[in-house]
Amino acid sequence: MCAGTAVALGLGGVAALAAFAVGMAFMRPATVRAAALQQEMATAKTPQERDQRTAEIQALRARAAGAGRVVGLLLLLSAAAMAVARFV
């Protein structure tokens, strides 16, 4: 295997692992917490509590969406690096 090929495959592997780490560190906790808050909405007694939980859910979903974009870009980089590794 050529040194350029190894570098490209290594870069692709590192990008894939980084995507996994970002997903587990940011996306998963945000979505789990948002789901838990969604279930707690049924027990909210006042409209203020519901509004507060809705705002927190929206913030968590926005955080998960941002992390999802980062994961998508890292996976795209990973796939591209591995695809061009043969030609480097």
What are 19-67's pLDDT values in tens digits?
A: 999 999 999 999 999 999 999 988 888 999 999 999 999 999 999 999 9
Phi, psi of 43 (to 5 degrees): -95, 0
- What is the reported pTM? 0.86
- Of 21, 18, 27, 25, nearest to 64 by C-alpha is 27
Residues spanned by the domain of 64: 3-87
Q: Which amino acid is residue 75, in one-letter code?
A: L
Residues in the chain: 88
- Number of structural domains the chain divides into: 1
**Tokens linked to 27:** 């996306």
